[in-house]
Structure 1
Amino acid sequence: MKKITYLFTALFLLTIGVKAQGNQDCTIKYNLFKGNYTTKKYEQAKPDLDWLMTNCATLSINIYKYGAKIADKTKDATLAKRVYDGRLANFPNKGVAKAHNDYATFLIKNNLSTDDEIFNILEKAYKISPKDMGVKNIFRYFKGTVSRFKDTNPQKVFDTYDDVMESVGEKLDDYNKKLGPLLAKDSTATLDKKEKRNLKIYSTNSKALGQVEGGLDAILSEIATCERLIPIYTRDYDANKDNEVWLKRAVSRMYNKGCQGDPLFEKLAVRYSEVSPSPDACSFVAGILEKNGKTAEAAAKRKECFDLETDPIKKARLKLREAQGTSSKSRARALAYEALKYNPNMGKAYLFIASLYAKSANSCGSDVFEKKMTYVAALNKAMKAQRVDPGSGAGRYIKNYKRNVPSKKDIFQKGIAPGSSFRVKCWIGESVRVPN
Structure 2
Amino acid sequence: MMKKITYLLTGMFLFVAVNVVKAQASQECNIKYNLFKGNYVTKKYAEAKVDLEYLLTNCSKLSVNIYKLGAKIANRTNDHTLAKKIYEGRLVNFPNKGAAKAHSEYAKYLIKHKLASSDEVFLILEKAYKISPKEMSVKNIFRYFTGITEKYKDTDPQKVFDTYDDVIESVQEKLDDYNVKIAKLQAKEEAGTIDSKEKKRLKAYITNSTSLGLVESGLDAKISGIATCERLIPIYKRDFDTNKTNGVWLKRAVSRMYNKGCQTDPLFETLAKAYADATQSADAFNFIAGVLDNNGDKKGAAQMRKKAFDLETDPLKKARLKLREAQGARGSRARALAYEALKYNPNMGKAYLYIASLYQKSANSCGSDEFEKRMVYVAALNKALKAKRVDPGCGAGRYISSYKKLVPSKKLIFQKGVSSGMSHKIGCWIGETVRIP
Does the TM-score normalized on the shorter chain lie above 0.5? Answer: yes
Q: Distance in 1 between matches of 2:39 and 2:260?
A: 55
2:9 to 3, 6, 16: 6
1:354 aligns with 2:353: no
Amino acid in structure 1 at the alignment position of 2:17? L
How far, CA to CA, are the matches of 2:369 and 2:120 in structure 1?
A: 58
1:283-341 CA-to-partner distances (Å, cap 9, x unmatched) read 11111111111111111111111111111111111100111112x22111100000001
Q: Secondary structure at the match of 1:224?
A: coil
Aligned to 1:430: 432
Post-superposition offset of 1:163: 0.7
Distance 1:5 1:388 in 2: 73
3-state SS of paired residue (2:313): coil
The partner residue of 1:401 within 391, 394, 403 is 403
Range with bigger deviation, 170-179 or 101-110: 101-110
Shift of 1:357: 1.0
- Look up the match of 2:90: 87
Deviation at 1:119, TM superposition (A): 1.2
Distance apart, 1:411 and its partner CA: 2.5
Cα deviation digits, residues 59-103 of structure 1 (max 9, x gap): 111111111111011111110000000000111111100100111
Give 2:138's aligned residue. 135
Q: Does 1:50 align with 2:53?
A: yes
1:34 partner letter: K
2:117 alignment counterpart: 114
Q: CA deviation at 1:21?
A: 2.1
| Residue pairs, 1:12-31, within 5 angstroms | 12-31=15-34
TM-score under structure 1 length normalisation: 0.96
Structure 2 partner of 1:223: 226
Residue type matched to 2:419 in 1? A
Alpha carbons of 1:43 and 1:339: their partners in 2 closer, same or farther (altered >3 Å)? Answer: same
Match 1:241 to one of 232, 240, 244: 244
Which residue does 1:98 correspond to in 2?
101
Q: Secondary structure at the match of 2:191?
A: coil
Q: What's the TM-score once normalised by structure 2's chain length?
A: 0.96
Query: Which letter does structure 1 place at the counterpart of 2:374?
Result: K
For residues 383-409 of structure 1, give each alpha carbon's deviation from its aligned partner in whole angstroms, at most 9, with x where no partner exists.
Answer: 110011111110011111112222223
1:75 to 74, 78, 103: 78
Residue aligning to 1:318: 321
1:277 is aligned to 280
Q: Secondary structure at the match of 1:422?
A: strand
2:158 is the counterpart of 1:155: yes
Deviations 1:121-167 (A, max 9, x none): 11110110000011111111111211211111111111111111111
Measure the CA separation in 1 of the matches of 2:175 and 2:105.
21
SS in structure 1 of the partner of residue 155 of structure 2: coil
- Following the alignment from structure 1 to structure 2, what is the Cα–Cα distance between the partners of residues 19 and 192? 45
Paired residues for 1:256-271 under 5 Å: 256-271=259-274
Give the Cα–Cα distance (whole angstroms) in 2 for the partners of residues 338 and 372 of structure 1: 27
Q: How many angstroms apart in 2 are the aligned matches of 1:76 and 1:65?
A: 15
2:209 matches 1:211? no
Give the Å deviation of 1:13: 2.6
Higher mean C-alpha deviation, range 189-198 or range 116-125: 189-198
For 2:64, the equivalent position in structure 1 comes to 61
Q: Quick one: which of 288, 293, 303 aligns to 1:290?
A: 293
Supply the distance in 1 between the matched residues of 2:167 and 2:259 (Cα, whole angstroms).
Answer: 16
For 2:177, the equivalent position in structure 1 comes to 174
CA distance in 2, matches of 1:64, 1:319: 47
CA distance in 1, matches of 2:202, 2:22: 48
AA at the equivalent of 1:370: E
Alpha-carbon distance, 1:113 to partner? 1.7
**How far does the alpha carbon of each residue in 1:266-286 deviate from its partner, in whole angstroms, 9 at most, with x for none?**
111110000000111111111
Q: Say which SS state the counterpart of residue 425 (structure 1) adopts.
A: coil
Paired AA for residue 420 in structure 1: M
Deviates more, 1:262-271 or 1:107-116: 107-116
Measured after TM superposition, the shift of residue 184 of structure 1 is 2.1
Percent identical: 68
2:254 is aligned to 251
Structure 1 counterpart of 2:313, one-letter code: T
Give secondary structure in 2 for the equivalent of 1:177: helix
Is 1:126 equivalent to 2:129 in the alignment? Answer: yes
Deviations 1:156-181 (A, max 9, x none): 11111111111110011111111112
- Rounded to whole Å, the distance in 2 between the matches of 1:143 and 1:297 is 42
Letter in 1 for 2:393: G
Amino acid paired to 1:359? K
Q: Which amino acid aligns with 1:407?
A: S
Between the aligned partners of 2:194 and 2:208, the Cα distance in structure 1 is 19
| Aligned-pair CA distance for 1:368 | 2.4
SS of the aligned residue for 1:310 comes to coil
The CA distance in 2 between the partners of 1:185 and 1:26, in whole Å, is 43
**Relative to structure 2, which stretch is displaced further, 331-340 or 299-308?**
299-308
Are the structure 2 counterparts of residues 188 and 18 from structure 1 closer, same or farther at C-alpha, using a change threshold of 3 Å? closer
SS at the partner of 1:187? Answer: helix
**What SS does structure 1 have at the residue aligned with 2:434?**
strand
Moved more, 189-198 or 114-123: 189-198
Write the distance in 2 (CA, Å) between the matches of 1:186 and 1:52: 43
Report the equivalent of 1:378.
380
1:432 alignment partner, SS class: strand
Length, aligned pairs only: 434
Distance of 1:208 and 1:396 partners within structure 2: 14
Give 1:207 deviation, angstroms: 1.0
